[in-house]
A = this chain, B = another copy of it.
Amino acid sequence: MCRWMAWLGQPLLVEELLFEAQHGIVDQSLHARMGAEPTNGDGFGLGWYGTGAGPAVYRSVSPAWADANLRDLAAHIESQLFVAHVRAAIGSAVQQTNCHPFRHGRWLFVHNGFIAGFDILRRDLMLAVDPALFAEVQGSTDTEVVFHLALTFGLKEDPIRALEMTVGLVEEAAGHHGIAGAVQASFGVSDGASLWAVRYATEGRARSLFASGDVDAVRSLHPDNPRLQRLSPDDRLIVSEPFSDLPGVWREIPEATAVTVRRGGVLEERPFHPRPIASAVDRTAPSSVPDA
């Protein structure tokens, strides 16, 4: 379990949403309310688009609530599009290369959830990653492999379709190994211009995911914040857990749904259907372990 948030809108100091929002993402690192795990203290990451080429990423193994640098950066970085993630490790090491967001070129990727039986599936899934991308996988999380599968399946052309193929592949591989409930996820993706988010679970209820309903919703988070009172209809927040408890502010994204947020506050919703990839994992290939 983890928590994440994404902002697309007018330029904001990152701290406005990370630290100053009621029950914001940093507060959720210590006291999350929804889902199985209230503490997300196994590192965090912040990715943003702004000055310089491509997205910047700051990742740390410290709990977000205790990281003095994060507080400072958030107070001095302004961005129109940023993504933050707090991590609760389930099995893999607490290290920077396991912290989200993951990055490839202009792309950022975050995930709340897990691949069931990842230890068993890891080799099959790594094999399905484009060999040209293989060496780019630097950590040991399921998420980083999922991201590289999605890149393999055309994330840059159609992020939702690529994630549908990725989930299809994972479910297929899991089925082959007799693993139930393969995918549990909310995913977030960005290329610096748009945001995509997916809520999906192979079985049962998926990780929660919410979008800010409209400008009034976000404004009401901070009645006394002049900056936020200047919000326009172009601004949109996606969060795995609402920042405040105000009823009526947040719009829950349904199960098995993908949303696209574009500049101008446009939010499009569509069903998310995993696509089976019959040949993605060649199970008949001889093991490469030598006979010798």
Chain A interface residues (CB < 8 Å from chain B)? 13, 30-31, 38-39, 41-42, 48, 50-53, 56-63, 66, 68-69, 72-73, 75-78, 89, 92-97, 118-120, 122-124, 126-131, 134-135, 137-140, 152-153, 165, 169, 172-173, 175-177, 276-283, 285-292
A73 to B46, CA, bound (A): 11
Contacts of A152 in B (CB 8 A): 289
With a cutoff of 8 Å between Cβ atoms, the chain B residues found around residue A122 in the complex are: 134-135
A127 and B288 CA atoms in complex are apart in Å by 6
Which residue from B39, B56, B172, B290 sits with its C-beta under 8 Å from A173?
B290
Please determine whether A176 and B134 come into contact, CB atoms closer than 8 angstroms: no
Contact A76 B51 (CB under 8 A): yes
Closest to A93 in B: B97
Contacts of A130 in B (CB 8 A): 289
The answer to whether A289 touches B176, judged by C-beta atoms less than 8 angstroms apart, is yes
Residues from chain B with Cβ under 8 Å of A169 in the complex: 290
What chain B residues lie within 8 Å of A69 (beta carbons)?
58-60, 69, 96
Closest Cβ–Cβ distance, residue A150 to chain B (whole Å): 13
Given known A-B contacts A173-B289, A287-B131, A94 and B76 have beta carbons under 8 A apart: no
CA distance A280 to B290 in the complex (A): 4
Query: Which B residues lie within 8 Å of A61 (CB)?
Result: 62
**Chain B proximity of A45: nearest CB distance (Å):** 10
Contact across chains for B279 and A290 when beta carbons are under 8 A apart: yes
